[in-house]
A and B are shown apart, each in its own frame.
Chain A
Amino acid sequence: MNIILRLAICSIFFWSMTANCQSKMTNIKGGTYTPLYGRDSLQVTIGDFLMDVYPVTNQEYILFVTKNPKWKKSKIIRLFADESYLLDWKSDTIINVNQDLKSAVTNVSWFAAKAYCNEKGKRLPTVDEWEYVAMANKKLPDARKLKSYNEYILSWYEKPKTFKKTVGSTFKNYWGVYDLHGLVWEWTSDFNSVLVSGESRKDVDNDSNLFCGSAAIGATDLMNYAAFMRYAIRGSVKAKYTLRNLGFRCVKDN
């Protein structure tokens, strides 16, 4: 009898541990909105999906590289990440003393972020999906017209080293998602669809859509300078780049 009881407790304990391993996700109800850069029709329709409540943390990433040695700092190949991959980590599985296990993992490449999400049976959000969720503030699904919303984001851009904060330290938005603004930039699956790069100035055949002056004029919401910054970052990075303030989170189809 005793043994059965112990086994039961053990298994419950185990179950709760593994359940915790899978990071929390929340439902995002799809809809139609006008992103900064629309397609021809301007409006974009998003289906329902699930999004990670927090960005992926150092702790979660340590577990990932332990299970998938190919993505360890010492093993990663240069095709998939540049030299600053996990730059501040002390070793393959140990972060530095000035880093926090509960902070968002940064200095990861697009390839690494994609592999992480795939391993969890998830994927990276598209630019349109990410922007859709990120236009919410605490109360409204679309707060882009509010002065306070834009000021919050712009004031974040001015604060140094926000990547050092732990996840969940910014506000919880309308959908129940934390840290879209105020912590780190995040990778998106199709970031390379933003044609505002060095290359695109010269040789993208449709660049009247998207560059500098023309980009800003083409932007659908001239006030949305904050979002313009995000698109500019996306347009300027390459998939193997790793930046100190660039992390990621995953989404899943409903």
Chain B
Amino acid sequence: MKKSKHLFILFITFTIFISCGGITPKKKKAETMSYQCPMKCEKDKIYHDNGTCPICDMDLKPIKFTKEVKNKNTSISETSIFNLTTKWSTEEGKIIALKELMGKTLVMVMVYTTCKSACPRLVADMRGIESKIPKGLEKNIQYILISIDPETDTPKRLKEFAIENYMDGKQWTFLQGSVDGVREFANVLAVKYKQISPMDFSHSNIISVFNPQGELVHQQEGLGVDNNETITKIINTAK
């Protein structure tokens, strides 16, 4: 009896050790090697293959990226909207978390598709902003319209709205969330809204700009306002 007890304890300790072994952190692979001229003839130009500098002919020196650069794309700051874990459905019916939008400058607005008064103007403002962004930057920017009426605005409805308003391009994303998720996100944007009848909401008209790390960089308040400042901000973060 006693022996079997000992054996049992031994077995338990053993399994604990094994399970511990499983989670020892793996060493991260070093970043791909990069090379630079030691004389910096071409300033900060980086080569991916070893060789010699075309100007001074010296051997290129391998360089290490600083940790900061490495972390830039993976870690999110305390004020990033990518901390939110709510799930959203796109107009294509794809389920995403906001984090999946990381890496692009985000221009966001909250509307609802059955809206007759302010939303068409807000949507026009969004299109106006999009049209003024210089060519070459468009792939760095995503325009996102979030419905404050998730019960009516199904992915199907959002898709129809996108087509009707010529906003069906890749740069446009429409999101349907849960009632709770929308309320939370509105709170992050400081957008206020209230359902005043089954078909109508009153809401603040705010266009928000987020940098690729999901941090709020600018908010434009009001309808049909001068959007130059907003555009400058977008261009600066998207560069």
Expressed in whole angstroms, the minimum distance between the Cβ of B204 and any Cβ of chain A is 5
Partner of B204, one of A114, A204, A239: A204
Q: Would B79 and A195 count as touching, CB distance under 8 A?
A: no
- Among A7-15, A151-159, A185-193, the stretch that binds chain B is A185-193
With A189-B183, A199-B190, A202-B221 in contact, is A40–B204 under 8 Å at CB? Answer: no
Residues of A within 8 Å of B196, CB to CB, are 39-40, 206, 209
Residues of B within 8 Å of A197, CB to CB, are 192, 204
Chain B interface size, as a band, is 20 to 34
Q: Would A77 and B203 count as touching, CB distance under 8 A?
A: no
B162 at the interface (CB under 8 A from A): no
Of chain A, the residue at the smallest CB distance from B221 is A203
Residues of B within 8 Å of A144, CB to CB, are none
How many angstroms between the C-alpha atoms of A9 and B80 in the bound complex? 51
Of chain A, the residue at the smallest CB distance from B194 is A193
Q: Which 6 A-B residue pairings sit nearest by Cβ, starting from the closest?
A: A206-B202, A239-B187, A205-B118, A193-B194, A77-B78, A78-B78
Q: Would A203 and B187 count as touching, CB distance under 8 A?
A: no
B165 at the interface (CB under 8 A from A): no
How many angstroms between the C-alpha atoms of A203 and B190 in the bound complex? 12
How many angstroms between the C-alpha atoms of A183 and B197 in the bound complex? 34
B195 at the interface (CB under 8 A from A): yes
Chain A interface size, as a band, is 20 to 34
Residues of B within 8 Å of A41, CB to CB, are 197
Q: Would B221 and A199 count as touching, CB distance under 8 A?
A: yes
Expressed in whole angstroms, the minimum distance between the Cβ of A19 and any Cβ of chain B is 29
B83 at the interface (CB under 8 A from A): yes
Q: Would B83 and A79 count as touching, CB distance under 8 A?
A: yes
28 contacts between A and B (CB under 8 A): A39-B196, A40-B200, A77-B78, A77-B79, A78-B78, A78-B79, A79-B78, A79-B81, A79-B188, A110-B187, A192-B186, A192-B192, A193-B192, A193-B193, A193-B195, A195-B204, A197-B204, A199-B190, A199-B221, A202-B222, A203-B204, A203-B205, A203-B222, A204-B202, A204-B205, A206-B202, A238-B190, A239-B187
